A and B are shown apart, each in its own frame.
Chain A
Amino acid sequence: MTATTERAVGQPIGRIEGPDKVRGAARYAAEFQVGDDLAYAWVVQSPVARGTLRTVVVDPLVEPDDVLAVLWHGNAPRLGPADDPELAVLQSDRISYRGQAVALVVARTLEAARRAAASLQLEIDEEPHDCLLRVDHPSAYEPEKVNPGFPASSALGDVDAALAGAPVTVDVTYSTPALHNSPMEPHATTALWVNDDLVLYDSNQHPPGVAAAVGALFDLPADRVHVITEHVGGGFGSKGTARPNAVLAAMAAKVTGRPVRLALPRQALFSMVGHRTPTIQRVRLGASADGRLTAIDHKAWGQSSRLFEFAEQTAVTTRHMYAAPNRRTGHRLVRLDMPTPRWMRAPGEAPGMVALECAMDELAVALEIDPIELRVRNEPAVEPESGVPFSSRHYLECLRRGAERFGWHDRDSRPRQRREGDWWIGTGVAGATYPAMVQPSTARASRLPSGDYEVSIAATDLGTGARTILTQIAADALEVPVAQVRVRIGDSTLPMASVAGGSSGSASWGWAVTGACRALRSSSASSATFDSSELVAQQEKDGKHAFGAHFAEVRVDAVTGEVRVTRLFGMYAAGRILNPRTARSQFRGGMIMGMGMALHEESVLDPAMGAWVNHDFAEYHIPAHADLESVEAEWLDEQDDQLNPMGSKGIGEIGIVGSPAAILNAVWHATGVRIRDLPARLDKILPYL
């Protein structure tokens, strides 16, 4: 056996697949060569928001030599029952939103498929639609649960009485627009049938989940659907479950008897694959004159589609963030003739903490207390609603250490005080939090004839660094150098892994990998398998969260209202950091997406057309190189032995939680302009400069 090795976990090891990625050798779902008879599919989307598709008329003169099939509900194969109605593609004449897949053209070439798709005549009985979320919508209702299973409401004490009696109150409404995940790799599937078994090269965050979901539709057990997901060009939640592209490609391959590739066009990502619901949030805070919260009330409105109830947990974070004896959270949902919202990086936390952390800033101003000090005065001893102690909570340390590193102390708390040339300059702070979740997974560790080890788990690496981190975890559990470990992921036939979501990948998969490697080391067998399900089930779920603090410095052009973020800084307490190199990248990536949320990103609704009209990268503005000046992330060395064998908390999402609020609070500090409807575009600021 190898002598004791230096621990790999905690080392800044470079990404294992990095050399492939910089040479263009890493393969994504639409890039696998699967035979000479590959056909291409192009999806036809509904041009109306609500109605009935009567028929599809095909012009036989368009691409007559190359079109292989035109599928729609009138001729598509019948699918088995779908848990997710969005996957029941081409099964019904109902049109539930603009952009819904209503037909599919399969052709010998991509050009022919696209052209034929554009030429189809859709005969639609259009109906009046309802696409605009508003708080007084007559059909607003309280859902039973909010994602992923929280009660929709919570209450402690008498909020109304406490607010009425509070010497200082804040009553504000914040709204956030619909946002789109927009991974750089559009959703894509290459599908082929091999002897009645289905093979899918698919871009997703959960190969076993995709195998099960697609298998059910085609009446196949999950083990007869082979999902290969070698590399994923980002997902950010939008690839968390199977999407219509996987089902459509499989259907087209079945009908044509050929391998079929369906890569969604960028524009389709703005309707067919999910988005972050727009929110409207009312936050009311009551405080004593010395800045102790007496009441917190957070009510959030969101939307879902006619097809499927997805209720985002917008106000749930407020349940554990600050102490207050009287507290209430609630959610209302409106079902509209719009696409189904889904997970987008920190669903719930990201928009919810905009409202809470901006409201806290407004309260600090009303109280004339430093916003960090206000948070210090309202630090809870235990989770305020569940009463469960925190497994670890170093929120105040993040605020204090972050303040030191950022240079907060000589800040003039008054707004509109610093001017350099045409620029107003200001700083802002906001808290960050994200639950430390873990889900059951299974891994297998094997000895290879070479003396090296192979570790297998059906996980995916969306750019998170999972492949690298699992290698480090396995090396330590096996007590061998990382060079002796090969990690296999990205394949549904490997031992079952949980979804790459909820910032739970490393914790969940790492637990299973640790178990399998330890079992292998303590036995002479050639391989060992470990399933974490029982241990995970026994765990206390409440009280486990990562925390952090975000600081922003902005400058706002007095001539134009343009906002630039000159410095963005995050200080985190997220358990043990498994790989500082990939962790720093993830933290910073989350903060940058938070900057997009604060300043640029907005899916613009035309309620009359029932459509988001800016459905491409020219008009939906994600941050570009030039938007970034200084973005830095640091963390505390946090020990927490109640989490998992690695002592880690997830880090993929916390960067987007609170960073938008820090930027908005800085915009207020720079200009005195309080932006309560995101994003903070120049046209909203300019009139007040």
Chain B
Amino acid sequence: MKTFTYRTADDVSGGLEPGATFLAGGTNLVDLMKLGVATPDVLVDVTRLGLDQIGDLPGGGLRIGAGVRNSDLAADHRVRRDYPVLSQALLAGASGQLRNMATTAGNLLQRTRCRYFMDATMPCNKHAPGSGCPAREGDHRNLAILGASPSCVATHPSDMAVALAALDAEVRISGPAGERTVPVTELHRLPGDAPERDTVLEHGELITAVDLPPLDLAARSAYRKVRDRASYAFAVGSVAAALQVTDGTVRDVRLAFGAVAHKPWRAHRAEEALRGRPATRESFRAAADAELAAAEPLRDNAFKVTLIRNLVGSVLEGLS
């Protein structure tokens, strides 16, 4: 690990010197620093900024502090009652220990688990821009089927972010240029030709909170994660869904997919295809197909198309 200067942040205004980065739970950053994949010169500790509260928003909904630990968020009674998909997604991720450490913002900003990215001795356009992407021809069974580019086929590993994408969450950001709010679905970028950039955050911008708007149908919501062992493994594919059905017809729906793209994948096309349709497994799967028509699987990950289609059918059926 490279040497660095450590200091605690004084306020939430953000702002960082070049080479500096924010540190919160450390579960991903310290991991990557040990591997030599992250090499900050300065660590600015943001865990003492009081960002660890969950509050009610005036018009309904919740404001989740950026520093709220994943385990506290998953256990919050309002989250469990009004947004069960979020609690389930959090609990599907990592381990009890890691959830006690990891924060809301850190979870959103965790980096891909692509095996080439995680190994500093490998070429990777994300950790060494221009060095190439061995995953496209090499190991990519668990990489992207949607929105990838010739330079990067990485996936975003978060479970929580998939639920937040389905819930129309908004990310509150504070930085040198002031405050701004970005829908969580627009926080993460697709890789394009700049895969080294995971998100739209500018240097020095700090996530201070995530706002969950009131969403009645979220009370009937669920997260289903598939992985290679029964627990403590990253997703091979996941679906977050919220569904409202009246008289056998889909009135409203939210759908997002995990482990399929460089960002949590909000399935707008599938949602459009479903609204007003009968709530049957057939229409659920047809809606999934509408979204997955854009999939461009690689040699070894075409199974994810089937997996996500099946999951959408199964999860929505469970909610209807």
Q: Do chains A and B touch in the complex (CB under 8 A)?
A: yes
Which A residues lie within 8 Å of B310 (CB)?
A: 559-560, 686
Dominant SS among interface residues on chain A: loop
A624 touches B231 (CB 8 A): yes
Which A residues lie within 8 Å of B272 (CB)?
A: none
Which B residues lie within 8 Å of A111 (CB)?
A: 1
Q: How many residues of B contact A (CB 8 A)?
A: 37
Closest Cβ–Cβ distance, residue B259 to chain A (whole Å): 12
Provide the A609-647 mask, 1 if CB < 8 A to any CB of B, else 0. 101011110110101111100000000000000000000
C-alpha spacing A616/B36, complex, angstroms:
15
C-alpha spacing A611/B3, complex, angstroms:
29
C-alpha spacing A623/B116, complex, angstroms:
24
A608 touches B303 (CB 8 A): no
Judged by a CB distance under 8 angstroms, whether B234 is at the interface is yes
Closest Cβ–Cβ distance, residue B79 to chain A (whole Å): 23
C-alpha spacing A613/B142, complex, angstroms:
13
Judged by a CB distance under 8 angstroms, whether B293 is at the interface is no
If A564-B230, A609-B122 touch, whether A604 touches B236 (CB-CB below 8 Å) is no
Chain A residue, CB-CB nearest to B35: A267
Which B292-320 residues have a C-beta within 8 angstroms of A? 300-301, 303, 306-307, 310-311, 313-314
Closest Cβ–Cβ distance, residue B17 to chain A (whole Å): 21
Closest Cβ–Cβ distance, residue B36 to chain A (whole Å): 5
Judged by a CB distance under 8 angstroms, whether B119 is at the interface is yes
Judged by a CB distance under 8 angstroms, whether A448 is at the interface is no
Provide the B199-233 mask, 1 if CB < 8 A to any CB of A, else 0. 00000000000000000000000000010111111
Apart from A621-B229, A682-B228, A687-B306, what 9 extra A-B contacts exist at CB < 8 Å? A118-B120, A559-B310, A560-B226, A609-B122, A614-B139, A618-B233, A626-B229, A626-B232, A683-B141
A626 touches B230 (CB 8 A): yes
A608 touches B137 (CB 8 A): yes
If A560-B307, A609-B134, A686-B307 touch, whether A621 touches B122 (CB-CB below 8 Å) is no
Chain A residue, CB-CB nearest to B225: A560
Provide the A560-580 mask, 1 if CB < 8 A to any CB of B, else 0. 111010000000000000000
Which A residues lie within 8 Å of B138 (CB)?
A: 606, 608-609, 613
Judged by a CB distance under 8 angstroms, whether B121 is at the interface is yes
User: Closest 7 A-B residue pairs measured CB to CB?
Assistant: A626-B231, A626-B230, A683-B303, A606-B138, A47-B121, A613-B115, A559-B314
Closest Cβ–Cβ distance, residue A125 to chain B (whole Å): 17
* Chain A contacts to B: CB under 8 angstroms: 47, 111, 114-115, 118, 422, 559-562, 564, 599-600, 604, 606, 608-609, 611, 613-616, 618-619, 621, 623-627, 681-683, 686-687
A619 touches B307 (CB 8 A): no
B307 touches A115 (CB 8 A): no
Which B residues lie within 8 Å of A118 (CB)?
A: 36, 120
Closest Cβ–Cβ distance, residue A368 to chain B (whole Å): 32
18 A-B pairs in the complex with CB atoms less than 8 angstroms apart = A114-B34, A118-B120, A559-B313, A559-B314, A561-B303, A561-B307, A564-B230, A600-B228, A606-B139, A609-B122, A609-B138, A611-B122, A613-B115, A619-B115, A682-B307, A683-B300, A683-B301, A686-B310
B231 touches A625 (CB 8 A): yes
Chain B residue, CB-CB nearest to A560: B226
Which A residues lie within 8 Å of B313 (CB)?
A: 559
C-alpha spacing A561/B314, complex, angstroms:
13
A681 touches B228 (CB 8 A): yes
Which B98-154 residues have a C-beta within 8 angstroms of A? 113, 115-116, 118-122, 134, 137-139, 141
Which A residues lie within 8 Å of B139 (CB)?
A: 604, 606, 613-614
Which B1-34 residues have a C-beta within 8 angstroms of A? 1-3, 34
If A559-B311, A609-B138, A618-B113 touch, whether A114 touches B1 (CB-CB below 8 Å) is yes
Which B residues lie within 8 Å of A619 (CB)?
A: 113, 115
Which A residues lie within 8 Å of B121 (CB)?
A: 47
Which B residues lie within 8 Å of A618 (CB)?
A: 113, 233-234
Closest Cβ–Cβ distance, residue B308 to chain A (whole Å): 10
Chain B residue, CB-CB nearest to A118: B36
C-alpha spacing A47/B36, complex, angstroms:
14
C-alpha spacing A102/B314, complex, angstroms:
52
C-alpha spacing A626/B91, complex, angstroms:
14
C-alpha spacing A625/B139, complex, angstroms:
27
If A111-B1, A118-B36, A609-B138 touch, whether A624 touches B303 (CB-CB below 8 Å) is no
Closest Cβ–Cβ distance, residue B289 to chain A (whole Å): 16
